[in-house]
Structure 1
Amino acid sequence: MTGMTASRTADGLAANGSRTEPGALRSARTWERARSIARSCAGQPLPSVPRALADALGHALAEPLLALTDLPPFATAAMDGWAVSGPGPWRLAGAGVLAGQEPLPLGRDTAVPIATGAPVPAGATAVLRHEHGAADTARGRLDDRSPAPVPESQDIRPRGQECRSGEPLLPAGTTVTERVLGLAAAAGYDRLTVHRRPSVELFVLGDELLTRVAPRAGRVRDALGPLLPPWLHACGAELIGRRLIADDLAALREAVLRSPADVVVTTGSTAAGPVDFLHDTLRAVNARLLVDSVAVRPGHPMLLAELPATADGRARRLAGVPGNPLAAVAGLVTLAEPLLSRLGGRHGAEPLRLTAGSALPGHPRDTRLLPVFTAGQEVSPLPFDGPAMLRGLALADGLAVLPPGGAPVDLLELPRR
């Protein structure tokens, strides 16, 4: 409409819903606001899918995990010894009960050998530990040699001690770890309903990158190709491709247009250098730029955009992080991690709040992400924390989130296995 200028909303989008031109959105977001935009632009988590237990690892539960049985499903022995009925002495009866067997009921004042984990016979009042019993097999008699009389229910794990059938065990949004798989199997599950992991394609940009041998002749090794895929996987992503792309506008445009991934992650080309073509690429593909620079060090020239949907209508996003290694990690933590967590249906991890063991230097104006190591509840800074460095990060327990001027607020744990 002529004679009118569309105003911009707080998210940098036109008030009338039109697309924002890449390059027109230059005011840096605060670190907290950038992460909030990354979460909210994901919309709803990706659809839920059924997965066999072996295939559910790393996904997020799409519905609460409810117990399908009591745990334990029957009373079991907590120790090796004898299942006994009454105060003793007892008459020995039977050859013993092993795990996986279904025992016969136990008569009054009788005992039967029992193994740890075996079902306790009906009528048993306790389990007498092996070291506390004196069995006379010739006389068929068992005496108690424990320091005190055997209390009722000693060393019997009662049915339902851990949970009852139908009881909620874990909420939706819980990441399926090895421990979750064990609990799900114990609770009776063969399959889990989980959110699909967001697919990610990684584009590492730059003519100067080598994939093997030592740096030479003005070229450097690609550190991000090995570093970022496992980091993205720990954030819940399903990496479907990783490519080195030369500093070429046409090549980058074609790669972005053709990518089938839910999220494209690019490294480098986020600033305004002579071969930084990412903004031009986003303009060429008619992307919607949501974040263009974040007030965080290192890594402030990072961006987040909505790409045109796939042919089947599936939404796509692009997270552009700087090319310097530590700055790229800062970009991943700031934009990619909250986006991927939301798409994958994961609960956002709460940051740890710890105490500074020594001075933690901040940036005068911006949030700073500083590699630190922890000792107890205290954190201390590490050297080698420049944007192009990885040595400090390799030694770090986490990244301290420092407000302008310094002093720690939060500690984001590195996603390690």
Structure 2
Amino acid sequence: MTDRDADAALDRAADEALALFADDRRSSGDRRESHVRRPQRASDVAETVRWNVADWAAADWGGPVPQDAHAADSVSNGASNSSASDSPADGSSKGSSFNDELFNSDPFSEAASADRPAPDDRSRQPDSSPEPNRPPEPNQTTEPDQPADVPNEAPEARAHATPWRAARTAAARAAQPLPSVVRPLGEALGQTLAEPLAALTDLPSFDTSAMDGWAVAGPGPWRLPSKDATPEGTGTSTRTSTGTGTGILAGHAEAAPLSDGDAVRIATGARVPPGATAVLRSEHGKVRGEGRELYASRHITQGQDIRPRGQECRRGDALLPAGALVTPVVLGLAAAAGYDELTVTSRPRVEVLVLGDELLRAGLPHDGRIRDALGPLLGPWLRALGADVVATRHVGDDPEALHTAVSASTADVVVTTGGTAAGPVDHVHPTLRRLGAEQLVDGVQVRPGHPMLLARLAPGRYLVGLPGNPLAAVSGLLTLAEPLLRTLSARPAPPPYRARLTEAVQGHPVDTRLIPVVYQHGDRACPLRFHGPAMLRGIAAADALAVVPPGGADQGAEAEILDLPWTADGIGISADTATGTITGTGGTP
């Protein structure tokens, strides 16, 4: 046997080993790309299999390496793998707790990773028998990370996939803010101010008492009015526990002026009478002399416990700039400053189309059909991003039904789920071509969710195509939908921030990864398990998503953090019957 024949035999052996895993991925309907590492010589065969398994497990499964991976490792070590097969596949004990399952995000054991090179160094490992000028054999490649062909994915998909950060920027720059509208205060929550908020009055608009007590004039002791007398302009008299009788209540007209040495009962928020120099708190005063004399138990100063007119702002002062998010506190400030309605940027109107014949809207999965997880998830999430979700509709795997639904929609943004790859029932791309849409982003270098897309259907109208897997769809929301909706609604971009990872995170060789994390000790992010593209268990317990660059991140490294909308501002999450309509087109319930 010649050297070339020997190399060809080794290639075939490696291909057979790799097929154990590639076939499994294809049979499970995975439409995403794989990166297959080729062996260079006999001693590399088992190690090559091992690294390809590691890449697939870390980048796609979000869980442990299957037993076949340990078998491949045993080829390399020339020893049995009985110790690995004696324990559960995820490396945990049968009695593992909820937290153990959720937080053990490393799919590899300490022993397995001890001699493994860093992710970004694997393709550069030196040959133990250096042959610096050896040319590649005919069946070899000088590029160790060439993507393998995967069924249901267009061969050109990788060529035009957009880097993750560039995709977010493109989505943010794809649109212009919508026109402004005038809304009553009760309908402006979650929108952004289209013009600055200026005070229409002084705040407070008159001198008011900050405490319950007595308005006093000059130094004490002070004379109190008769029990039966009602000072002019004070309205109804009120008897107090001290027996002094009358007082000034909030909401009444200006009271009669106080002369030096006089005092009168006053309630919090009431208008301070002219001549008053301070307010003596109830707990600091004592009434003597048959209820006619007031003494202070401690020294009081000029203006004490009086809120002067204009203390917070003067009429015409700028309170908030245009673009500020209308929160509950902003509504309260606007009301206090004299507003009944606000000029805000319109909410983007969004229609959600959930695609697929296999989706059930009730009951347990059966007969190859699964529950629709995205229909209930997307509406509240999009509302939290400032959108007005006009409808969530189910559309079967029918190109005509999809074309009709997209072309008939009057929403500013149409969000679809599934159908963005190149499978036999993936109709989003053909529909966009048929409508003459402009593709702005077609595939993103991110895991999970790289088949996502963004298109302009017409001036001012857009389509965001999300992958069908739930966590992949969430990735699409944060990558494309959130920046687009932020621009349309004129919301300010949240300031970026980073947190240190409590443990290392395996990276994808080429793509950015988005990993669910929880905060620990305020400034640290702990990666969670169950982050495969079809999984929601991890993100359901998460505070945010960590952005892991290609090649991975070490323990203690800082990672960019993407807050989830309900952990950031929590605006507009609650369901609304007027905007949460769910209808169906095609398929069965």
Seen in structure 2, the aligned counterparts of structure 1 residues 117 and 214 have a Cα distance that, compared at 3 Å, is same
Seen in structure 2, the aligned counterparts of structure 1 residues 25 and 66 have a Cα distance that, compared at 3 Å, is farther
Q: How far, CA to CA, are the matches of 1:137 and 1:320 in structure 2?
A: 82
Q: TM-score, normalised by structure 1?
A: 0.89
Question: Does the alignment pair 1:32 with 2:178?
Answer: no
Aligned amino acid, residue 477 of structure 2 = L
- The DSSP-based 3-state class of the residue aligned with 1:409 is strand
Q: How far, CA to CA, are the matches of 1:96 and 1:307 in structure 2?
A: 68
CA drift of 1:297 comes to 1.2
Q: How far, CA to CA, are the matches of 2:546 and 2:338 in structure 1?
A: 41
Would you say the 8 A contact 2:354–2:375 is kept in 1? yes
Seen in structure 2, the aligned counterparts of structure 1 residues 306 and 137 have a Cα distance that, compared at 3 Å, is farther
Q: How far, CA to CA, are the matches of 2:301 and 2:503 in structure 1?
A: 54
Would you say the 8 A contact 2:449–2:475 is kept in 1? yes
Q: Deviation per CA, 1:319-363, whole angstroms, max 9, x where unpaired?
A: 101111111011011101111111111111223332323334443
Would you say the 8 A contact 1:25–1:289 is kept in 2? no
Match of 1:381 in 2: 527
Q: Give the aligned CA root-mean-square deviation in angstroms.
A: 1.6
- The DSSP-based 3-state class of the residue aligned with 1:82 is strand
Question: Does the alignment pair 1:367 with 2:512?
Answer: yes
- Structure number with the higher helix fraction is 2
Moved more, 115-124 or 351-360: 351-360
Aligned amino acid, residue 393 of structure 1 = I
Match of 2:367 in 1: 217
Q: How far, CA to CA, are the matches of 2:548 and 2:219 in structure 1?
A: 65
CA drift of 1:150 comes to 0.4
Q: How far, CA to CA, are the matches of 1:105 and 1:26 in structure 2?
A: 83
Match of 1:112 in 2: 264
Q: Deviation per CA, 1:91-148, whole angstroms, max 9, x where unpaired?
A: 11342111111222222121111111111222222111111100136251100012xx
Map 1:45-194 onto structure 2 (within 5 A): 45-93=177-225, 94=231, 95-101=246-252, 102-136=254-288, 138-146=290-298, 149-194=299-344
Q: How far, CA to CA, are the matches of 2:436 and 2:289 in structure 1?
A: 87
Map 1:269-308 onto structure 2 (within 5 A): 269-308=419-458
- The DSSP-based 3-state class of the residue aligned with 1:370 is strand
Q: How far, CA to CA, are the matches of 2:561 and 2:313 in structure 1?
A: 34
Q: TM-score, normalised by structure 2?
A: 0.64
Match of 1:228 in 2: 378
Q: How far, CA to CA, are the matches of 1:128 and 1:223 in structure 2?
A: 62
From the CA coordinates, give the structure whose radius of gyration is larger. 2
Q: How far, CA to CA, are the matches of 2:305 and 2:386 in structure 1?
A: 42
Q: How far, CA to CA, are the matches of 1:353 and 1:157 in structure 2?
A: 42
Aligned length: 387
> Which runs of 5 or more structure 1 residues have no equivalent in the other structure?
1-22, 310-314
Seen in structure 2, the aligned counterparts of structure 1 residues 269 and 182 have a Cα distance that, compared at 3 Å, is same
Match of 1:355 among 490, 500, 503: 500
- Structure number with the higher strand fraction is 1
Moved more, 187-196 or 107-116: 107-116
Question: Does the alignment pair 1:261 with 2:411?
Answer: yes
Q: How far, CA to CA, are the matches of 2:377 and 2:282 in structure 1?
A: 53
Moved more, 120-129 or 218-227: 120-129
Would you say the 8 A contact 1:206–1:247 is kept in 2? yes
- The DSSP-based 3-state class of the residue aligned with 1:354 is strand
Map 1:338-349 onto structure 2 (within 5 A): 338-349=483-494
Q: How far, CA to CA, are the matches of 2:354 and 2:159 in structure 1?
A: 24
Aligned amino acid, residue 134 of structure 1 = K
Q: How far, CA to CA, are the matches of 2:321 and 2:289 in structure 1?
A: 52
Q: How far, CA to CA, are the matches of 1:361 and 1:179 in structure 2?
A: 42
CA drift of 1:308 comes to 2.9
Would you say the 8 A contact 1:351–1:413 is kept in 2? no
Match of 2:39 in 1: none
Q: How far, CA to CA, are the matches of 2:322 and 2:435 in structure 1?
A: 36
Match of 1:252 in 2: 402
Q: How far, CA to CA, are the matches of 2:470 and 2:486 in structure 1?
A: 22
Match of 2:546 among 395, 400, 409: 400
- The DSSP-based 3-state class of the residue aligned with 2:379 is helix
Q: Deviation per CA, 1:357-403, whole angstroms, max 9, x where unpaired?
A: 33344433222211111121221111111111111111111111222
CA drift of 1:68 comes to 0.9
